[in-house]
Amino acid sequence: MANQNIRTPKFFTDLISFHRGRDSAIGAVTATHAGNTFVGLPSNKTIADLCDLKPLNLVTFDTSADTDGHVLCTFVFNTSSHKQNYIAILNHNLATAVGKIRIFAGDESTDVTALDGANADTADINWGSITNAEAVNADTRTAHSDNKSIVIEPATDGTTIITFDEQDLRYWAIQFEGNTTNTGNAVNGTWGGTDLTVGGIMIGESFEMPHSPDMQLTRSIEYDKVKMQESVGGQRYASVGNLGRTASSTSKSPFTLATNAQKVYGGRISYDFNFSFLSSSDVLPLESYSYIYSDDTVVSDIWNITDGPTRPFIFCIDKDTAADGAESDFMFARFGQNSLSLNQVANDVYNVSLRIEEEF
């Protein structure tokens, strides 16, 4: 959207980090098998490096040596009641490495353990019949001929988000594979000779606000990591800890397409806005004695999954944004507030104020 005009915001919160933050260390990368079928984690990294919501903490896979290898990441939620409708891959170099993403899922552990999703069950999820869409950098999306998996071919390095019809599956797999020789949804492709790098993986349920925020809102660009000092003679000096997003030819902050620091807009973006006249059913869960998975509310789907300002999320200023070059409408962010105030202004009607701050 031109000029980053705010419409109806959308939040993408992460179930993987939520589980890990609540003492359930889900996730694994399949170790190297005989014949180099799978490419495992490097010795200096763990699965936590892919799930830490720190996109600049890159994990490098040795795909230049194993050009026909596959990187298989599996995630197991502690219940099949959680909802999922998006997957995001942060700070990847799939275009340079000539790779693609294959996604498959199921309701049994064996559904996600085999190469190319061979053991997945279309009775759980049939990728040929569910609706999927590009949110960011997921230009080509093709269901495999057996409908057990879907393949995404990002057009550029950076961050990719794919959305799909809501699911409630416990077992998920994200496989990175080469895209040379066999392109599209074909298996057994090869890498282009550059090692694959990935900054993070997110799986979860997105939440759209019921309507746009009040007209009077504030969008700020803050240089909060710049500290000013002044000499006795009145000369001022700046001490710079961080200027904002970063970018290079090998790594970049989420939703940045630049390849060097001179092409990056500096500062930390923040939003202060108020949502008026929200129905209580859009704000509060039906009950609070135990988490209700079917509730779609601000508290259930945003505030609780992030534990307030504890964990970052992906924020989009327009729920309908989905196109090439959509990165400007997205932000890797976290809440800039420790409490969520819900002000009742009428019977079962609330006003909610939110502060969203960009995460470097």
Residue 254's closest CA among 136, 164, 109, 167? 136
Which token pair is 23?
A: 């003492």
Confidence (pLDDT) at 181:
74
Residues 314 and 263 in one domain: yes
Q: What is the pLDDT of residues 318-347, one digit of tens each?
A: 999 876 678 999 999 999 999 999 999 999
Letter for the amino acid at 231?
Answer: S
Task: Tell me what the mean pLDDT of segment 247-265 comes to.
Answer: 94
Is the model's pLDDT at 32 over the cut of 70?
A: no
- Burial of 34 per CB tally in 10 Å (0-12, 13-18, 19+): exposed
Task: Tell me what the mean pLDDT of segment 297-314 comes to.
Answer: 97
Confidence (pLDDT) at 245:
94
- Report the alpha-carbon distance of residue 256 to residue 352 in Å, rounded: 30
Confidence (pLDDT) at 2:
64
Is the model's pLDDT at 36 over the cut of 60?
A: no
Residues 311 and 188 in one domain: no
Task: Tell me what the mean pLDDT of segment 268-287 comes to.
Answer: 96
Is the model's pLDDT at 359 over the cut of 80?
A: yes
Kindly list the distances between the CA atom of residue 4 and the CA atoms of 152, 281, 335, in Å, as whole numbers in the listed order: 26, 29, 19
Domain-embedded: residue 1? no
Is the model's pLDDT at 114 over the cut of 70?
A: yes
- Report the alpha-carbon distance of residue 44 to residue 207 in Å, rounded: 35
Domain's final residue, options 208, 242, 258:
208
Q: What length does the chain have? A: 360
Domain-embedded: residue 2? no
Whether the Cβ atoms of residue 117 and residue 102 lie closer than 8 Å to each other: yes
Task: Tell me what the mean pLDDT of segment 295-299 comes to.
Answer: 96
Task: Tell me what the mean pLDDT of segment 280-298 comes to.
Answer: 94
Residues 269 and 130 in one domain: no
Task: Tell me what the mean pLDDT of segment 298-311 comes to.
Answer: 97
- Note down the domain range covering 237: 218-358
Residues 137 and 237 in one domain: no
CATH number (domain holding residue 31) = 2.60.120.260
Is the model's pLDDT at 35 over the cut of 60?
A: no
